[in-house]
Chains A and B, each alone.
Chain A
């Protein structure tokens, strides 16, 4: 089941360099506040920080005590406080309170804020308004990219999705451009850039500007092609239940920054353990991309092999035993540990899924994707809501229904919304408003309403802004056109055909053969056609903003050039799922390519939908 890598598949570039860069810059920044200091770290920066430095590193640079930012009054007695934070108004406000409390107390300290990955004017403005600009020095830690694995790099910015797609705030566009710029300067020059989506286009332009601003050095490219994609080009895929091992682990246990915490239930001991999940884990590496139904068989085979390896001991003489212990035993023990961990995880996931009638849930999802027996699906969702089963799951199904059906009939929308509010709380009115704004859950509109509105507003303003308005309106009333796209791109294979999950024939295997993820299919098509030619109808349905640009590299060595050409960096703006990564790995194996996924964050249906909730004060 471990797929043999095609002989000519190119090697991936070494991304550990990015970690080194980030760590060294952090050390440099800490040195900018000489002497002993306490360091306050934003909660969601802690795991990324863990990946590149450890406490000892910090202590060696005069960090005395470490605190997590908790938005509460502080207890530090240090004369110097350093804050390592995301550029968020809420956190800066808290720092203002800390500083002003000190001032009121007549206490003198030195303060430094290190914003990661960059600072925002709005934050500095707040410092100014709160009268502490100047009392506090600020810096930027350009920690744009965290390599999570050999082929996954994350910006660790989960708020990107909400900020851009819901609020319409473009604050992270340049950040994405800078991240791309960093990759380009270290692993480029890129020769071709493809993309789709408004944000992708802007990020691309921002990157180009930064390239022009800086000096260019000729070097051998390690990454040839780049594909940029907005998350809202394909919202269906991240809302589907994940059934590939790594995705399922993420759905159930939530992988955080490449690390998962397995509960006692999995470890069959009395405590939870944290496990890094990446290609270093040999057992995990072989099952991560597999459909869950295949995993058990693989693990038990593995267990039998392990037993045989252990059994070799009997009948060994002393010398053989010595070699065995020194050469094999450690490896076997390690494998044993990993094996029992993943077996435990699989069992625990099986139990959880059986309890929630997973099969029936998947059946409904597949019917929605296929556009089959929609009334039955609606009753299923209704009952799900009525029984007050998981709120996020109910919301997920509603959104899938809306996305695949181009919106709900007004009657259904009203009734399902009312029942949802009854079951999960009326304050979710706000959630519904957000879902509507983003186009995740909408009511079907009579066709002409929009154009009437557009032309009415259009008359009031000049042409240039009218264009922008049209943009804004069309994004508001964006149709997913899922059925038409599905037909055009053959996303939903015929259900009457048997699908052998042991020998996947296409990327649909990541959803049990029921659906080829739109995002990955687009990437496949564009790479195959070397552009968007022939996909005009598809891009029109996806609301356009597609591009394909030759960035003009003049690689000296033709062989190197072809090698780097087969390394493709795919950047997801707004997050991507482990299932999509698995699909791309599959595609890579099929085509002799290597994909590197750069994402603003690893996402899944729960994270995506939770970011739509407004119930935090």
Chain B
């Protein structure tokens, strides 16, 4: 503990600090430094007395801005102090912050921290023994003031070897988090990495280093940086993701170089018809897959740019693959490709349409890509839930689906109702007529 001279101790125990530093008689240095500013304030203090009884006169809201200049801006500032309710706060406003640093004192850690919180003169140089430094740090933590905790840490950073500081921070979680945040903010990456290492927080260390790739602009440098990241001690899951990140960028660089060249040479129709809007570099995996389904559909899975290769390399789920592929092919209005996506053959050679996601979703996606009714109705037909099927069919005007469904349901009434909704004489009208007049059908109503 730091002990002051007995008489000083008495003083500190008996007198209360006040926020108003003009009244502070604790050190002459501060007073000297502040006297100049204090003189300025005297005027306002005097005026304060005069105006105390007359608060309401000073009304600012709605007052023309010009008037303030006339009364003199200094005065105008002081006027607001006329209200006694603000005066408690007023000393805070005018509290001069001394910048005097070279003052030797005998303040205890507690007093020092308190002075720092109040923006008064303080001195840390005399906290030289490790014990004193740590007492000071613990005191700052006890005061809950992050600003002061960081200030003390900055001092400890300057005056302790990092090994010792790190060792002490292990058992001081709150101080440690302040230290980490401070190092992050001032960009002391290297020191942070050492800190994490010394604390065995290897995953944090790996992520911290990985984070730096965001600062690398050039794609080749970024790829090399990511390659370097592969050796970092990530958690097993994250290691896979970082590996993917490296692989992805590596391939994007190859695809980008190739496609840029193909596009500018005008060799491929697809690029002429749909010029690329942006480079594929640094895009997510799914965007890359979409791009590949858009520009490189049907390539053999040996090439890096083929959908199949991307699917396999990045372990993309069936559902995800289908959704992305569907989006890309529908955008190109390649309905044949869309059809093929769902077609499976069983061992007898019959084909059947299957989907890992509900067909009502597929309809939704196709519709958003402006699929024509002829295409839509095939998929509406595949929706299993009859009610859902009919509501989708009505929404997208797939007449055949509706008519056939009612026929299959043997629902004569609904069919008659629907006849009223379609245009008289149109093909669907005729179709309904035909069905209704079919005597072979056994209606349920």
Q: Which residues of A does B touch, CB under 8 Å?
A: 16-17, 20-21, 23-25, 27-28, 31, 54, 56-57, 60-61, 89-90, 118-122, 125-126, 138-140, 142, 163, 167-174, 178, 181-182, 185-187, 202, 205-206, 209-210, 212-217, 219, 382-383, 386-388, 414, 417-419, 421-427, 429-430, 433, 460-461, 465, 468-469, 471-472, 614-617
Residues of A within 8 A of B69 (CB): 60
Q: Establish whether residues B241 and A426, one from each chain, have CB atoms under 8 Å apart when the complex forms.
A: yes
A528→B237 CA distance, assembly (Å): 49
Which of B145, B172, B184, B357 lies in contact with A206, CB distance below 8 A? B145
Known: A21-B80, A426-B242, A460-B171. Is A414-B177 also a contact (CB below 8 A)? no
List residues of chain B with CB within 8 A of the CB of A187.
Answer: 85
A433–B242 Cα distance when bound, in Å, is 14
Q: Shortest CB–CB separation between residue A225 and chain B, in angstroms?
A: 19
Whether, in the assembled complex, B17 has its beta carbon less than 8 Å from a beta carbon of chain A, the answer is: yes
Complex Cα spacing A60 to B173, Å: 49
Tell me whether A121 and B171 are in contact (CB under 8 A). Answer: no
13 residue pairs from A and B, CB less than 8 Å apart = A20-B60, A25-B93, A60-B66, A90-B185, A121-B147, A168-B174, A169-B150, A215-B20, A219-B84, A388-B287, A421-B244, A425-B284, A468-B174
A248 to chain B, nearest CB (A): 24
In chain B, what residue has the closest Cβ to A432? B238
Q: A170 touching B241 by the CB < 8 A rule?
A: no
Is there contact, CB below 8 Å, between A121 and B185? no
Residues of A with C-beta under 8 A to B97: 119, 138-140
Supposing A168-B174, A386-B323 touch, asked if A120 and B76 sit within 8 A by C-beta, the answer is no
**Knowing A122-B151, A212-B16, A426-B241 touch, does A163 contact B181 (C-beta < 8 A)?**
yes
Shortest CB distance A422–B (Å): 4
A468 pairs with B173, CB closer than 8 A: yes
Residues of A within 8 A of B320 (CB): 386, 419, 422
Question: For A169, what are the chain B residues with a Cβ–Cβ distance below 8 Å?
Answer: 146, 150, 177-178, 181
Is B445 on the interface with A (CB-CB < 8 A)? no
Query: Which residues of B from 148 to 204 have beta carbons under 8 Å from A?
Result: 148-151, 154, 171-174, 177-178, 180-182, 184-186
For A468, what are the chain B residues with a Cβ–Cβ distance below 8 Å? Answer: 172-174
| Residues A383 and B181 in contact, CB atoms below 8 Å apart | no
The answer on a CB contact under 8 Å between B186 and A126 is yes
**A422 and B215 contacting across the interface, CB-CB below 8 Å:** no
Q: A210-B19, A383-B361 are in contact. List 14 more A-B contacts (CB 8 A).
A: A25-B93, A142-B92, A170-B146, A171-B147, A174-B146, A185-B88, A186-B88, A214-B88, A214-B92, A215-B18, A217-B87, A421-B244, A427-B214, A472-B173
Q: Give the CA-CA distance A115 to B50 in the complex, in Å.
A: 32
What does the 1/0 interface line of B121-165 toward A look like (CB < 8 Å)?
000000000000000000000001111111100100000000000
Of residues 367 through 405 on chain B, the ones whose CB sits less than 8 Å from some CB of chain A are none
Q: Report whether A423 and B68 are in contact in the complex, using a CB–CB cutoff of 8 Å.
A: no
Contact with A along B1-36 (1 / 0, CB 8 A): 000000000000000111110000000000000000
Q: Is A25 a contact of B182 with CB atoms below 8 Å?
A: no
**Chain A: which residue is nearest B237 at the CB level?**
A414
In the complex, what residues of B have CB within 8 A of residue A461's CB?
171
A391–B162 Cα distance when bound, in Å, is 40
Q: How many A-B residue pairs have CB under 8 A?
A: 215
A312: shortest Cβ distance to chain B, in Å?
32
Cβ contacts under 8 Å, B283 to chain A: 425
Kindly report which residue of chain B lies nearest to residue A413, judged by CB atoms. B237
- CB pair B284 A426 closer than 8 Å: yes
Decide if B279 is an interface residue (CB 8 Å cutoff).
Answer: no
Cβ–Cβ contact A386 & B118, under 8 A: no
Given the complex, which residues of A lie within 8 Å of B323, measured CB to CB? 383, 386-387
Bound form: Cα–Cα A121–B119 in Å: 10
Is the CB of B104 closer than 8 A to any CB of chain A?
Answer: no
Interface residues of B in 234-255 (CB under 8 A from A): 237-238, 241-242, 244-245, 248
Given A21-B86, A170-B144, A219-B84, residue A424 in contact with residue B284 (CB < 8 A): yes
Bitwise interface map of B from 70 to 108 toward A, beta carbon under 8 Å scored 1, else 0: 000110110110011111110111000100000000000
Contact check, A423 vs B284: say whether CB atoms are below 8 A apart.
Answer: yes
Q: Is the CB of A56 within 8 A of B65?
A: yes
The answer to whether A173 touches B146, judged by C-beta atoms less than 8 angstroms apart, is yes
Contact yes or no, A173 B182, CB < 8 A: no
B residues less than 8 Å from A182 (CB atoms) = 89
Contact partner of B214 (CB less than 8 A), chosen from A167, A170, A465, A615, is: A615
B19 & A213 in contact (Cβ 8 Å cutoff): yes
B319 CB within 8 Å of chain A: yes
Q: Measured between alpha carbons, how far is A387 from B17 in the docked complex, in Å?
A: 62
Tell me whether B207 is interfacial, beta carbon within 8 Å. Answer: yes
A214-B88, A386-B319 known; A426+B73 contact, CB < 8 A:
no
CA distance A142 to B95 in the complex (A): 11
Q: Taking the nearest CB of chain B, how far is it from the CB of A87, in angstroms?
A: 8
B429 at the interface (CB under 8 A from A): no
Nearest A residue to B117 via CB reads: A174
The reply on B230 being an interface residue by CB < 8 A is: no
Tell me which residues across on chain A come within 8 A of B242, comparing CB atoms: 426, 429
- Taking CB atoms, residues of chain B closer than 8 Å to A210 are 19
The smallest C-beta distance from A274 to any residue of chain B, in angstroms, reads 21
- Whether B150 lies near A24 (C-beta < 8 A) is no
Q: Check if B442 is an interface residue, CB within 8 A of chain A.
A: no
- Say if the beta carbon of B439 comes within 8 Å of chain A: no
A206 contacts across to B, CB distance below 8 A = 144-145
- Expressed in whole angstroms, the minimum distance between the Cβ of B176 and any Cβ of chain A is 8
Which residue of chain A is the closest to B79 with respect to CB atoms? Answer: A24
With A61-B73, A167-B177, A206-B145 given, is the CB distance from A21 to B89 under 8 Å?
A: yes
B80 → chain A, closest Cβ, in Å? 5
Measured between beta carbons, the chain B residues less than 8 angstroms from A185 are 85-86, 88-89
B18: chain A residues within 8 A (beta carbon): 213-215
**Residues of chain B with a CB closer than 8 A to A21's CB:** 80, 86, 89, 93
The verdict on A170 contacting B173 (CB below 8 Å), with A25-B93, A122-B185, A206-B144 known, is no
* B213 contacts the other chain (CB 8 A): yes
B285 at the interface (CB under 8 A from A): yes
Contacts of A202 in B (CB 8 A): 144
In the bound assembly, the distance between CA atoms of A383 and B355 in angstroms comes to: 14
A173-B316 Cα distance, complex, nearest whole Å: 46
Q: Is the CB of A168 within 8 A of B177?
A: yes
**Best-buried of A209, A386, A616 by chain B (most CB within 10 Å):** A386
Q: Which residues of B contact A388 (CB under 8 A)?
A: 284, 286-287
Q: Which residues from chain B contact A57 at a C-beta distance below 8 Å?
A: 65, 68
Bound-complex Cα distance A206 to B361 (A):
56
Bound Cα distance from A20 to B20, whole angstroms:
21
Given contacts A121-B150, A465-B171, contact A213 B118 (CB under 8 A): yes
A382, closest chain B residue (CB): B319
Chain B residues 210-234 with CB under 8 Å of chain A are 210-211, 213-215
The reply to whether A27 and B181 contact each other, CB–CB distance below 8 Å, is no
Q: Is the CB of B150 within 8 A of A122?
A: yes
| Bound complex: CA A541 to CA B91 (Å) | 42
Are A213 and B286 in contact (CB-based, < 8 A)?
no
B284's closest neighbor in chain A, by CB?
Answer: A425
Residue B413 lies at the interface, judged by CB distance under 8 Å to chain A: no
Closest residue of chain B to A614, judged by CB?
B211
Taking a contact as CB atoms under 8 Å apart, the answer to whether B87 and A429 are in contact is: no
> Min CB distance, B197 to chain A, in Å?
17
- Chain A residues within an 8 Å CB radius of B79: 24
Which of B68, B74, B92 has the largest count of A CB atoms less than 10 A from its CB?
B92
- Could you tell me if B287 and A173 are in contact, using CB atoms closer than 8 angstroms? no
- Residue of A173, A209, A418 near B241 (CB, 8 A) is A418
B317 in contact (CB, < 8 A): yes
Measured between beta carbons, the chain A residues less than 8 angstroms from B117 are 174, 209
Instruction: Give the chain A neighbours of B215 by CB distance below 8 A.
Output: 617
Say yes or no: A214 contacts B76, CB within 8 Å: no
CB contact between A217 and one of B88, B172, B248 (< 8 Å): that residue: B88
Interface assignment of B438: CB less than 8 Å from any CB of chain A = no
Docked-complex contact B182 and A213, CB < 8 angstroms: no
Give the distance in Å from the alpha carbon of A202 to the alpha carbon of B74 in the complex: 36
